[in-house]
Structure 1
Amino acid sequence: MIYNSSHPQTEYNNPALFPGMYPVLFPYGTGGFEVASRPTPLNFETQAEYFLDIESGQFRNHWSFLFVTLNIIQRRKAHLHVHLMTKAKDFPEVAKQFSQIKPETLDHLADKIQSEQTKNLSDSEQEAMKLFSKVKTITSHIPGSVASKIALRNDIRSYFMYFGCPQFFFTFNPSAVNNPAFHLMYGDTTIDLSTQEPDLPDFDTRARRVASDPVAASDFFEFSYKLLFSTLFAWDFEKQRSKPEGGILGHIRAFYGTSE
């Protein structure tokens, strides 16, 4: 059933949501997320990853499924992992003030902040603004947030303390457009990797493939960096240590990398 209502549907524990939004992808009206009757529970993110990895590509090639799914995952992480922090000495006062602020006040204040109209605030809105100065929002578990980047920097600094200063820095940026392996992952079965220079389509076609299938591009990036580390640097990803024979840089004690 395609939903058409003035009331929004909940995205939590609603197995009929996606079959209702995407009848082409779920033609039998089943197979939605978070089905309570499943013998083995399956969380939203794991099932989404499965859908996007299906070889036929109907989910990842759909014009909106990928964006809607990732948006829900991002919002859920915000719902579950955002919390507030304040100094211990301010906690009793802050907790008391929070309990006294009405939700309507916060709604009005949020609208004024969004429209950059913070000069004419009511007394209650001014109290709420003062409260915000004593509270810090923690979002370190949300990918892409400022706090998550700070957490990454702290991780890197901890590596410095334990392993010493890094000896080698580099930026890894493989070109999916010009790499035959990506086009094979994309589904072009005419690519022959047994030849030294496989025949590739024209540049415009190659670029459109990367733009139309970000999942394949992501898989290609993961494949490339793991191949680099396992082959040239002799890193064993299963055992999480350098291989006995070592690589072009010898034996690696540790490495740290992030992706944008």
Structure 2
Amino acid sequence: MIPRGNRPVNEYSNPNILLGILPALFPYGCGAIEDDSRSVQIDFREHLRYLIVFRNRRFEEHYSFIFVVFNILQHRTACFHAHLMTLIRYFQQSAQLLESLSSADIATALVNISKGTYSNIADQRINTLMKHIRGVLWYCKEPRQRFTSLAPSYLAQS
């Protein structure tokens, strides 16, 4: 389920990630949030609310469960509210440029930008996109305290 090593596991492509991270809470290997074997699919938040008020309180009292699931919830909420915006006059050009770029091109540009070795003449397609497309992370830029303050109020709603 969860390979050993220092590489992080993708939480989006592994619906049974909680089974591997928290085996003490799911000793039989089933019943985790977003379990594929369940005939009726349950929303992540609803299942989380149920587990936190579970009768024997093992999820509520576990030392890291609340932090792990709220971290996953925070990532999903932040990614859900991230958007790309461009002006109408650049839309067609930006769409064609996005289609022409591969993920390797973007990854190379990101590595070079993070290292500070990116030059404006490296790839004109990426330069054009950086001029025309703006990321809107209004929901992500709010202080981290907002997400951590959600935990007590979220638990009280049950």
- What is the TM-score when the length of structure 1 is the normalising length? 0.47
Local SS of the residue matching 1:137 = strand
Amino acid at match of 1:44: F
In 1, Cα distance between equivalents of 2:43 and 2:8: 22
SS at match of 1:133: helix
Q: Cα 1:13–1:53, aligned 2, differ >3 Å: closer, same or farther?
A: farther
Give 1:3's aligned residue: 2
Q: Give the Å deviation of 1:40.
A: 3.2
Percent identical pairs in the alignment equals 26
Q: 1:13 and 1:134, CA in 2 relative to 1: closer, same or farther beyond 3 A?
A: closer
Residue identity in the other structure for 1:91: F
**Distance in 2 (alpha carbons) for counterparts of 1:101 and 1:10:** 23
Match of 2:112 in 1: 112
Larger Rg: 1
Amino acid in the other structure paired with 1:99: E
Read off the aligned partner of 2:115 and give its amino acid letter: S
3-state SS of paired residue (2:132): coil
For residue 130 of structure 2, what is the amino acid of its counterpart?
F
Give the counterpart letter for 1:3 in structure 2: I
Write the letter of the residue equivalent to 2:42: L
Shift of 1:43: 1.4
Partner of 1:134: 132
| 101-110 or 48-57: bigger deviation | 48-57
5+ residue gaps, structure 1, are: 150-213, 224-260
| Unaligned residue ranges in structure 2 (runs of 5+) | 144-149
Matched pairs, number: 150
Pairwise CA RMSD: 3.4
CA distance in 1, matches of 2:154, 2:78: 28
Question: Is residue 41 of structure 1 aligned with residue 41 of structure 2?
Answer: yes
Q: Is the 8 A contact 2:81 2:137 kept in 1?
A: yes
- Per-residue CA deviation, residues 72-93 of structure 1 (Å, 9 max, x unaligned), is 2222234444221111111111
Mapping of 1:1-260 within 5 angstroms?
A: 3-5=2-4, 11-12=11-12, 14=14, 16-54=16-54, 56-118=56-118, 120-124=119-123, 126-140=124-138, 142=139, 145-146=140-141, 215=151, 218-219=152-153
Structure 1 distance, partners of 2:27, 2:155, is 33
Separation in 2, partners of 1:102, 1:115: 20
Question: Which is bigger in relative contact order (C-alpha 8 A, separation at least 6)?
Answer: 2
8 Å CA contact 2:16, 2:34 repeated in 1: no
- Give the corresponding residue for 2:146: none
Equivalent pair of 1:13/1:34 in contact (CA under 8 Å): no
Rounded to whole Å, the distance in 2 between the matches of 1:64 and 1:113 is: 35
Give a deviation string over 1:88-123, Cα, whole Å, max 9, x none: 1111111122222232221122123223344x4552
Q: In 2, distance between residues paired with 1:70 and 1:37?
A: 23
CA positional deviation for 1:130? 3.2
SS of the residue aligned with 1:4?
A: coil
Distance 1:127 1:135 in 2: 12
The 1-side partners of 2:18 and 2:107 are apart by 30
3-state SS of the aligned residue for 2:135? strand
TM-score by length of 2: 0.71
Equivalent residue for 1:230? Answer: none
CA contact (8 A) 1:94 1:131 kept: yes
